[in-house]
């Protein structure tokens, strides 16, 4: 049931961004996202600034989760080089962008990960790392919690559910137990404890073709169960909608849920969520330095458009902070219900 390699390793058609786009754009008759967005009366979707550099440092991962939009896995070789990281740092230094959100794959598996984190810290920016938790127990990575604490890194980790069954179904056998052990280690250093200033946020995403529940209510459930049953703590829970791309798209199609899932996203279009989609304040940088509006567009290989510079080496803050966003039908995933972003619900 759980994969051991990416779709790419098996040469599956859906590993290809073009094939995914073809399906998203043409497989069911939904109103075009652009038109729906413009119905809220603010013209086309446009960035309002850049508050976050989201840097995807590679597709290599120690896990192969069933819903992964990146199609990450142990077989993936796309990795950001130190030279490209240097370009990111140079671009960052020219701006007052306060946050750098490092993602992957398992970003920690990039050999230059630690160097990059400390260089960003030297520039006085806040660092967030999307850690999958299990990597913190892997050989050669056991001292990462100390490294995170020493650099004041905010850790954001997927834990799709507070029960082992649901988490393991999506992320692999034994992932829940190892995740709890990793949280314990982070807690031990002060992570997730109110007074320490070390932030550990968890991420819920539905284990299937349905939308996430109310974020605040679910956070209370997570806190109660994780504390009572496992004695572990965290700061906030973010609920994230599964985007119809990558391996989740594969699942949707194989399970016969694709059309109804898309229709549901469209029927729950929420103008308040649409006004706050994360691409309005985020710039996403790919492993090879290519610029995207978000990590989802990155996986669909939809580069920034409308005349904005497409590579970090041509970084132009003034142009990028007001760029028009490239949208396709998957964008409905960000605007349904309470909305979804890398920081959870948005409306």
Positions that interact with other proteins (CB under 8 A): 161, 163, 165-166, 206, 208, 210-214, 217-218, 221, 263
The rounded distance, in Å, linking the Cα atoms of 347 and 340 is: 9
Applying CB under 6 A, which part among 19-27, 60-68, 120-128, 234-242 lies near ligand SF4?
Answer: 60-68
Q: 17 — phi, psi (to 5°)?
A: -60, -40
Query: Which tokens is 320 given?
Result: 């990028």
CA distances from 73 to 37, 61, 171, 286, 315 (A): 34, 4, 12, 16, 30
| CA atoms of 293 and 248, how far apart (whole Å) | 20
Q: Choosing among other proteins, ligand SF4, none, which partner's interface includes residue 64 (Cβ < 5 to 8 Å by kind)?
A: ligand SF4
Those residues whose C-beta lies under 8 Å from the C-beta of residue 123, and which sit 6 or more positions away, are: 89, 92, 93
Stretch near ligand SF4 under the rule CB under 6 A, chosen from 149-157, 189-197, 274-282, 312-320: 274-282
DSSP 73: B
Bridge partners for 79 per DSSP = 58
Cβ closest to ligand SF4, residue 4 vs residue 122: 4
Q: Does residue 65 belong to the site contacting ligand SF4 (CB under 6 A)? A: yes
C-beta separation of 47 from 292 below 8 A: no
Of 121 and 275, which has the nearer Cβ to ligand SF4? 275
**Positions 120 through 139 that interact with ligand SF4 (CB under 6 A):** 132
Member of 136, 330, 337, 343 binding ligand SF4 (CB under 6 A): 330
Closest contact distance (angstroms) between CB of 210 and other proteins is: 5
Residues of this chain that interact with ligand SF4 (CB under 6 A) are 61, 63-65, 68, 70, 72, 104-106, 132, 277-279, 293-294, 296-297, 325, 327, 330-331, 334
């Amino acid at each position: 049931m759980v994969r051991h390699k990416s779709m790419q390793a098996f040469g599956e058609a859906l590993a290809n961004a073009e094939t995914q786009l073809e399906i998203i754009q043409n497989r069911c008759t939904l109103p075009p996202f652009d038109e729906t967005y413009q119905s809220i009366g603010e013209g086309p979707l446009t960035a309002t600034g850049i508050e976050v550099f989201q840097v995807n440092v590679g597709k290599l991962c120690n896990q192969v989760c069933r819903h992964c939009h990146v199609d990450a896995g142990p077989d993936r070789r796309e990795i950001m080089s130190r030279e490209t990281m240097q370009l990111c740092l140079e671009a960052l230094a020219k701006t007052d962008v306060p946050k750098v959100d490092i993602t992957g794959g398992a970003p920690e598996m990039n050999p230059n990960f630690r160097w990059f984190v400390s260089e960003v810290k030297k520039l006085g920016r806040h660092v967030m790392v999307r850690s999958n938790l299990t990597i913190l127990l892997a050989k050669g990575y056991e001292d990462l919690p100390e490294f995170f604490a020493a650099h004041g890194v905010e850790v954001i980790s997927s834990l799709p559910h507070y029960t082992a069954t649901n988490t393991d179904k999506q992320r692999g056998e034994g992932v829940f137990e190892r995740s709890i052990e990793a949280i314990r280690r982070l807690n031990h250093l002060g992570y997730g404890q109110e007074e320490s200033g070390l932030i550990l946020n968890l991420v819920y995403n539905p284990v299937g073709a349905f939308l996430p529940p109310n974020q605040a209510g679910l956070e209370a459930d997570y806190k109660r169960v994780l504390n009572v049953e496992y004695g572990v703590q965290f700061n906030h829970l973010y609920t994230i909608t599964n985007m119809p791309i990558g391996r989740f798209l594969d699942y949707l199609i194989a399970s016969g849920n694709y059309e109804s899932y898309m229709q549901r996203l469209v029927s729950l279009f929420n103008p308040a969520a649409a006004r706050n989609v994360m691409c309005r304040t985020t710039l996403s940088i790919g492993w090879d330095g290519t610029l995207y509006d978000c990590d989802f567009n990155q996986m669909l290989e939809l580069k920034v458009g409308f005349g904005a510079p497409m590579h970090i080496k041509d970084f132009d803050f003034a142009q990028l902070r007001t760029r028009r966003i490239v949208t396709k039908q998957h964008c409905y995933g960000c605007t349904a219900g309470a909305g979804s972003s890398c920081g959870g619900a948005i409306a």
